A and B are shown apart, each in its own frame.
Chain A
Amino acid sequence: LAKTTQPISMDSYEGQEVNITCSHNNIATNDYITWYQQFPSQGPRFIIQGYKTKVTNEVASLFIPADRKSSTLSLPRVSLSDTAVYYCLVGDLRAAGNKLTFGGGTRVLVKP
């Protein structure tokens, strides 16, 4: 079971790029890395997922080095509405008996 470690919090300013790194030293071969965003009083929402190298979508990029022991979520040009908690999740739902364990989350505060 891959345990994940993330920074507890980070501050940024509008228009800057925010990079959040998640450590997952014992990631399994079949595990994927998924990031979620959570606003207060709401359930987490899927942002991006990857297996290796780089993945980009309309809201974020995910960088995964060759050894896959860490990953970095990159939020380009953040706005105030990006203030939220971001969770890294490592696992593979397709595997029977696979628990999905979230990290502690990183609280991102975007300042004007």
Chain B
Amino acid sequence: EAQVTQNPRYLITVTGKKLTVTCSQNMNHEYMSWYRQDPGLGLRQIYYSMNVEVTDKGDVPEGYKVSRKEKRNFPLILESPSPNQTSLYFCASSFRTAVPGELFFGEGSRLTVL
């Protein structure tokens, strides 16, 4: 089944404790991206990657890192989480050369930083 898988789905952590949210897709998509969703603010892009070893900042990259060493994986790293990073995070992927803008989303990861 074609899907985007995020882990963990739920996480409660404390300020400053490094964490990684993994994202994996099995559709051979070139494009992957991370979004955060907060009440009243819609979906805001954190980072995106056009292909392996190619990443770029979205609209709200501060406090986050990403890497794209393999085509299928695009982990989101919070080196020193803070309470303002409490949010619902979504990973998405797509073919770059196919329907422009048709993103496939994961189920989301709800992160709480105390």
State A44–B44 Cα separation when bound (angstroms): 13
A97 within 8 A of partner (CB): yes
Chain A residues whose CB sits within 8 angstroms of the CB of B101 once the complex forms: 32-34, 49, 89-93, 100
Chain A residues whose CB sits within 8 angstroms of the CB of B35 once the complex forms: 102
24 example contacts (A-B, Cβ-Cβ < 8 A) are as follows: A32-B99, A32-B100, A32-B101, A34-B100, A34-B101, A42-B108, A43-B92, A43-B105, A43-B107, A44-B43, A44-B90, A49-B102, A91-B100, A96-B50, A97-B56, A99-B45, A99-B56, A99-B58, A99-B59, A100-B45, A101-B45, A102-B35, A102-B43, A102-B45
Of the candidates A43, A49, A90, which one forms a contact with B90 in the assembled complex, judged by CB atoms under 8 Å apart? A43
Residues 5-54 of A contacting B (Cβ, < 8 Å): 32-34, 36, 41-46, 49
**Interface size class, chain A:** 20 to 34
B94 within 8 A of partner (CB): yes
Closest to B94 in A: A93
Contact A43 B48 (CB under 8 A): no
Q: Give the Cβ gap from B39 to chain A, nearest Cβ, in Å.
A: 11
Chain A residues whose CB sits within 8 angstroms of the CB of B40 once the complex forms: 104
Closest to B29 in A: A93
- Interface, chain A (partner B; CB < 8 A): 32-34, 36, 41-46, 49, 87, 89-94, 96-97, 99-105
- Interface, chain B (partner A; CB < 8 A): 4, 31, 33, 35, 40-45, 48, 50, 56, 58-59, 90, 92, 94-97, 99-108
Contact A43 B94 (CB under 8 A): no
Chain B residues whose CB sits within 8 angstroms of the CB of A34 once the complex forms: 100-102
Chain A residues whose CB sits within 8 angstroms of the CB of B44 once the complex forms: 101-102
State A45–B43 Cα separation when bound (angstroms): 13
Contact A105 B107 (CB under 8 A): no
Question: Quick one: which of A34, A44, A103, A105 has the most chain B CB within 10 A?
Answer: A44
Chain B residues whose CB sits within 8 angstroms of the CB of A99 once the complex forms: 45, 48, 56, 58-59
